Amino acid sequence: MIYAVVMAGGIGSRFWPVSTPQNPKQLLSFFRNRTMIQLTLDRLKPLLPSAQHRIVTIPDQVSLFQKKLSDFDDNNYIIEPSGKNTAPCIGLSAVNLLIQDEDAILVVLPADHLIQHEEKFLNCLETGIRCVQEKDALVTLGIRPTRPETGYGYIQYERDEVSSNLHRVVTFAEKPNRETAVRFIQTGEFLWNSGIFIWSARRILSEIEEYIPELYVSLMDIKDAIEQGDDPERIQRAYNNIKPISIDYGVMERSRHVYVVRGDFQWSDVGNWDEVYRLTEDKDSDGNVLKGNVVAEGCTNSYLYSEGKNPLAVVGIDNGIVVQTDQGTLVCSRDEVQNVKKAAEQIFRTNKP
């Protein structure tokens, strides 16, 4: 059977002060009056019914999701004892689903991306699923780049198609500088790395065994604990021994069995406030996005947001982000949004309850 595995355990600290441990990015409603995770699950339903959806999250966030997703029950959740990056998260999901279904195929995707042209997206998933069924391969979705983006990783692929829109992967590239990103696009051989994957549970665990053997040992300990009666303390001990590592670095960059489906749908990982500004259509004549009780005088090309009753007055800024909530106030240039995470993490450390 095919399962959608939605990775939803992060905080999204680049969206402080709106996103906090008590209100993570996946539960924010930037678009269409739906939370990011609701949009993700909505677009999957034409392909896979809710019974085949799995949300992977940490214990502190389960109750937060249950309040928003009332049609999901305990069977829809895979609980990760703590956040350990994508490889342990995916490995744990594969273990859980393999116990339930020896033929499980996983469609793995983040909970907080924005995708338009959803029919094209679903067609790409179907292409990837067929590849997994026929070749027992690792498949990822790549997005045709529309600009020399420096905030995304890239995938280089062979020009010859294996089948329609399906290519073998040559290599993965980390987030480049602008000059390198321009060169990538000029070659016509690179796609944005979407972080969306398709594979069988057996195949990804086999790849983890080969390339991250220490993680595999811990995962097999967890598998045995689940099969012996779901021993929480043993699972916790095994998970504590796991070192954080991304699936890209740990497996995808090393494996010899990787294919990419070339996607032409509109996609964004909505990774920071500048991306929210860029994707928001209702800008005023000065290029500003105004949300909430906001007064702007002499401002241009800025995202200005006030949550709650308190007014926000912003005067004479250009290319800025100003966000005011009960948790705090953020003021930054749109060119510096990647550094919001550093500031937020410092605030979380020094303002623990």
The pLDDT tens digits for 273-302 are: 999 999 998 999 999 999 999 999 999 999
Question: Could you tell me the CATH number of the domain that includes residue 65?
Answer: 3.90.550.10
**Domain range enclosing 147:** 2-268
Q: Are residues 78 and 97 in the same domain?
A: yes
Q: Are strands 294-297 and 312-315 parallel, antiparallel or unpaired?
A: parallel
Using the predicted structure, report yes or no on whether residue 342 has a pLDDT greater than 70: yes
Q: Are residues 177 and 114 in the same domain?
A: yes
- Residue 94 pLDDT: 98
Strand boundaries in the chain, DSSP class E? 2-7, 53-57, 77-79, 105-110, 114-116, 138-143, 154-157, 166-173, 190-200, 258-263, 266-268, 289-291, 294-297, 303-306, 312-315, 320-325, 328-333
Q: Are residues 101 and 187 in the same domain?
A: yes
- Residue 353 pLDDT: 55
pTM over 0.75: yes
Query: Which is more confidently placed, 299 or 349?
Result: 299
The span from the first CA to the last CA of the chain, in angstroms, equals 44
Q: Are residues 251 and 306 in the same domain?
A: no
Q: Are residues 246 and 337 in the same domain?
A: no
Domain final residue, candidates 216, 238, 268: 268
The pLDDT tens digits for 121-151 are: 999 999 999 999 999 999 999 999 999 998 8
Q: How many residues are recorded in the chain? A: 353
Q: Are residues 280 and 343 in the same domain?
A: yes
- Residue 352 pLDDT: 65
Domain final residue, candidates 250, 268, 286: 268
Q: Are residues 173 and 298 in the same domain?
A: no
Q: Are residues 137 and 284 in the same domain?
A: no
Q: Are residues 191 and 336 in the same domain?
A: no
CB 29 within 8 A of CB 40: no
Number of domains in the chain: 2
Q: Are residues 310 and 191 in the same domain?
A: no
Q: Are residues 38 and 183 in the same domain?
A: yes
Domain final residue, candidates 235, 268, 301: 268
Q: Are residues 141 and 90 in the same domain?
A: yes
The pLDDT tens digits for 207-245 are: 999 999 999 999 999 999 999 887 788 999 999 999 999
